[in-house]
């Protein structure tokens, strides 16, 4: 396991505390990789997360957006199984997968299809945050003398 020290960055960057805290948290994250997922950028402001959730019904999945965090949970009823497996490669366990979302990104929908959960995201930048063109006037403002 590697450890990164972000202390020098804290000394020289002002207002980026949240970013550095998130980087430290992600570096030390010991995620199991279950369930597997893809993140796809469809265009400049639209994204899709696709998770392989074979064996889960829609009722067993929970999708929550809380501020800049997306949490996908899968819970199964524990059933007493009398089967004897020679090999069990299909995971049958609960999961919780968290995704950190950028500012102004929100979940716009989710659909389940063929064992894949698709979560659609959209970035909506407020009008006052968008770049705007400034006209250049050929006149100088005169201050009262």
- DSSP secondary structure code for residue 18 in this structure: H
Q: What is the pLDDT of residues 29-42, one digit of tens each?
A: 545 688 999 999 99
Q: Is residue 138 part of a domain?
A: no
Q: What is the pTM of this model?
A: 0.67
Asked whether residue 43 is domain-assigned, the answer is yes
Q: Which structural domain range is residue 41 located in? A: 33-78+87-127
Residues 92 and 37 in one domain: yes
Put the strands of the sheet holding 61-66 in their side by side order. Answer: 61-66, 69-74, 95-100
Mean confidence (pLDDT) of the chain? 82
pLDDT digits (tens, 9 = 90+) for 81-137: 788 888 888 777 899 999 999 888 999 999 999 999 999 999 998 888 888 888 888
Instruction: Quickly state the pLDDT bin for 54 (edges 50, 70, 90).
Output: confident
């Amino acid at each position: 396991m590697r450890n990164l020290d972000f202390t020098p960055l804290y000394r020289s960057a002002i207002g980026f505390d949240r970013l550095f805290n998130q980087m430290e948290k992600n570096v030390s994250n010991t995620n199991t990789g279950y369930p597997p997922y893809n993140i796809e950028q469809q265009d400049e402001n639209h994204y899709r997360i696709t998770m392989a959730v074979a064996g889960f019904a829609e009722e067993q999945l929970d999708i929550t957006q809380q501020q800049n965090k997306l949490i996908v949970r899968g819970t199964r009823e524990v059933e007493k199984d009398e089967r004897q497996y020679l090999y069990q490669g299909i995971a049958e366990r609960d999961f919780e997968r968290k995704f950190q979302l950028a500012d102004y990104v929100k979940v716009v929908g989710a659909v389940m299809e063929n064992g894949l959960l698709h979560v659609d995201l959209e970035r909506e930048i407020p009008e006052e945050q968008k770049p705007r063109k400034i006209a250049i006037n050929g006149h100088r403002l005169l201050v009262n003398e």
